[in-house]
Amino acid sequence: MNSSIKSLVTIAAPSESIDVVVRRMAKESRKVEYAGIVVVLDSQKTLLGIVTDGDIRRAYASDVLFSGEISEIMVSEPITISEKVTEENISLEVIRKVQLDKRHHSEWIRHVLIVNDKNQLINIVDYFDILQSRNNLVNRVVVFGMGYVGVTLAVSLANRGHQVTGVDVQKSIVNSLNQGKSHVFEPGLEDMLTANLKRDSINFSTTLEVDTHQVYIVAVGTPLNSESKPDMSALINVLEVISTTLHSGDQVMLRSTVPVGVTREVVIPYIENRTNLKAGKDFYVSFAPERTIEGNAMHELKTLPQVVGGYSPQCVKNSVEFWSTLTPSVVRVDTIEAAEMVKLANNTFRDVSFSFANELALLADRYNVNSFDLINAANEGYPRNKIPLPSPGVGGYCLTKDPILFSCTSKGPRKDAVLGVSSRRVNEKAALYPIKLIKRYAKKIQVSLSDFNILVIGVAFKGMPETTDIRGSVAIDILNNLERHVDNIFGWDAVVDSKELKKAGFKVLDSLSTAIRCSDVILILNNHPNNVHSDMYKHSKSYRLIFDGWNQVDKSEIEKTIGMTYATMGYMTP
């Protein structure tokens, strides 16, 4: 082995135990240039994989046996570049490779390996150093709102070399993030957060204490008020802060989902009226909608095309250059309004398509038809538009409000709006469909609804990609509607902490198995793969209803068990 490589990093053979390699890492930490990294080589010195101290921590947390081989936890085929890449092109090639990598480990990558034609290690380059050296693309950025959208974006931008400040009004969230602990569940987020805190490329605050930022990104929420109208108070509060710190040449970017027209008719006039600056001339305004999915946001932020619309051609140009540092693909649209409509179009289309499936399920209920079987039959071999599968409602923070925002302008609800409002009505009705079945079942077996012990499985608003988010959860809606009539409503979720379930109002038992044995009615309300438990198929009570909201349970096994009744969207065991 080349002595210069040994001075760079710890070397391991694939068959060596994790324990032996970890001890060697610790021993060599002061001798090698890149401590905390192991490269795994075969007998011909060919690169097989890489292991970082983060991989070791994750292995420990997952109870991986350290007597096992180091190859079990290595990242095979790590990001590499050829030694033939010229020095002037190396930074561009490194950034390109990292941005295009589709594996989660690249979300917190720090080092890129340089190899020869035989895939033998030649050198290591520091990705962060490369980003920092590209000063023309690095900005001082402030992101307002550290919810799912803001915190994932802030950390991802810091990982691309920007100097980022995340601002949120909740002190507990700010304190937690400054300690490297995320309040949202997102794979890869905390690893990347910790790495960027260590290199001082990100910080969090409740106030904007300095006015030297070049890019202001607004990512606060636009909830619906008690009258189901957009509440833009958080947006206005942020605009007030921006107006006191904005300088000539700065960029203001809207990331928040808002009704069409808000950027031009609310944001720009507000800032212009409180400063001596003119949009498009003194400061630059653009809209770049957020479109990531919870549970896969860190990956999608660097792979999904960013859509940009601006107030002027220069606004668009500046915005495109900025977002190009995050993703290799940026799509320009002609106006700010077009960009505002993109997110609303994406989410309202999804809600409308799901509402068709759910209205079909509600129709199927009249004839006791399993709507999953019905839709699968309609889709089988049919070459045109596939009908989506139904579900007990459509939850989540975005899909429960964005169709309503789609039905509004900056001045209020549109009188001609039809689809967004209608889809919400159908999906809200579908969300309460399990209650209709429970009442029907109670009447069928002549048991009072109040005597039931009900178990809700899947409290997060969705199961896959998994999340801990219970905002807009169908399970919470059902709890709120049933708790007036039923004393014992238990909750279980594969990801959501039991403390959060109790805070939401559910009773919690020590295990899913115990909860199943105690329950007369089981409602499966999201599609996490761990929702199904073997005890569901056992004869343990004189009667039990299992509502299979996402078609995950073996219907035949349930129906052949004495005392068990199966139900799903549109169907209940006769």
| pLDDT tens per residue, range 74-106 | 988 888 888 888 766 666 676 666 666 655 444
How high is the mean pLDDT of the chain?
Answer: 91
Three-class SS state of 150: helix
How confident is the model over 146-181, as pLDDT tens digits? 999 999 999 999 988 899 999 999 999 999 999 999
For tokens 């944001």, name the residue: 267
Cβ contact 108:191 at 8 Å = yes
pLDDT given for residue 134 in this prediction: 54
Give yes or no: residues 320 and 363 share one domain.
no
How confident is the model over 509-540, as pLDDT tens digits? 999 999 999 999 999 999 999 999 999 988 76
Give yes or no: residues 241 and 315 share one domain.
yes
Give CA 329 to chain center in angstroms: 20
DSSP bridge pairs for 164: 141, 202
Which residues form the domain of 201? 134-334
pLDDT given for residue 113 in this prediction: 86
Q: Is the pLDDT of residue 349 over 70?
A: yes
| End residue of a domain, out of 334, 362, 378 | 334
CATH number of the domain enclosing 354? 1.10.1040.10
- Alpha-carbon separation of residue 325 from 106, 158, 179, 330, 472 (angstroms): 15, 11, 26, 10, 33
Question: What is the count of structural domains for the chain?
Answer: 4
Q: Is the pLDDT of residue 281 over 60?
A: yes
Mean pLDDT for the stretch of residues 18-42: 89
Cβ contact 285:310 at 8 Å = yes
Question: CA–CA separation, 250 vs 275, rounded Å?
Answer: 13
One-letter amino acid of 75? V
**DSSP 8-state class, residue 461:** S
Give yes or no: residues 397 and 448 share one domain.
no
Element (H, E) at 315: helix 313-323
* Residues contacting 156, CB < 8 A, separation 6+: 192, 298, 301, 302, 326
Give yes or no: residues 448 and 379 share one domain.
no
| End residue of a domain, out of 283, 314, 334 | 334
CATH number of the domain enclosing 114? 3.10.580.10
Give yes or no: residues 466 and 567 share one domain.
yes
Tell me how many helices (H) and strands (E) the chain has. Answer: 22, 23
- pTM across the whole model: 0.78
Question: CA–CA separation, 214 vs 249, rounded Å?
Answer: 8
Cβ neighbours, 10 Å, residue 332: 16
Mean pLDDT for the stretch of residues 264-272: 98
Cβ neighbours, 10 Å, residue 477: 20
pLDDT given for residue 480 in this prediction: 96
- DSSP-derived secondary structure for 379-409: HTT--SPPPPP--S---STTTTTHHHHHTEE
Mean pLDDT for the stretch of residues 359-373: 98
How confident is the model over 469-498, as pLDDT tens digits? 999 999 999 999 999 999 999 999 999 999
| End residue of a domain, out of 112, 128, 144 | 128
Mean pLDDT for the stretch of residues 187-212: 89
CATH number of the domain enclosing 170? 3.40.50.720
pLDDT band at 212 (very low <50, low <70, confident <90, very high): confident
Tokens of 438: 């429970």
Question: CA–CA separation, 402 vs 400, rounded Å?
Answer: 6
